[in-house]
């Protein structure tokens, strides 16, 4: 019983952390390691305009989309937990059956 309670606490904490990450704001766009091409050894003196990456507007998820994502995450984790419990139950039944037949 004690192990079951601990596993529930761990799964609950994982769900809280995952939901906070899913509902948090999007990360800032990645910055280049070097701010100017002139400082990089071997870089061309002029940058070809066709190679310049244009920053696009960031897309933010609505509250409904975030809530739906959190709910989907909870359902997936619950489903995976149920599958893991079923696998352990079947594995335990196989081991117990083998032990019973070995003792007889």
Q: What is the mean pLDDT of residues 80-91?
A: 91
Reported as a single tens digit per residue, the pLDDT across 49-69 is: 666 666 666 677 788 888 898
pLDDT reading at 36 higher than 90: no
Q: Which one has a higher pLDDT value, 18 or 24?
A: 18
d(CA 71, CA 93) in angstroms, rounded, equals 33
d(CA 98, CA 103) in angstroms, rounded, equals 9
Provide the greatest CA pair distance for the chain. 84
pLDDT of 27? 65
**pTM of the predicted structure, to 2 decimals:** 0.43
């Amino acid at each position: 019983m004690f192990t079951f309670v601990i596993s529930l606490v761990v799964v609950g904490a994982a769900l809280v952390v995952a939901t906070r990450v899913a509902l948090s704001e999007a990360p800032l766009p990645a910055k280049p390691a070097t701010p100017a091409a002139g400082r990089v050894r071997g870089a061309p003196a002029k940058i070809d305009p066709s190679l310049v990456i244009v920053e696009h507007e960031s897309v933010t998820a609505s509250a409904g989309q975030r809530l739906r994502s959190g709910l989907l995450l909870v359902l997936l984790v619950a489903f995976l937990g149920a599958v893991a419990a079923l696998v352990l139950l079947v594995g335990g039944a196989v081991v117990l059956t083998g032990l019973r037949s070995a003792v007889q």
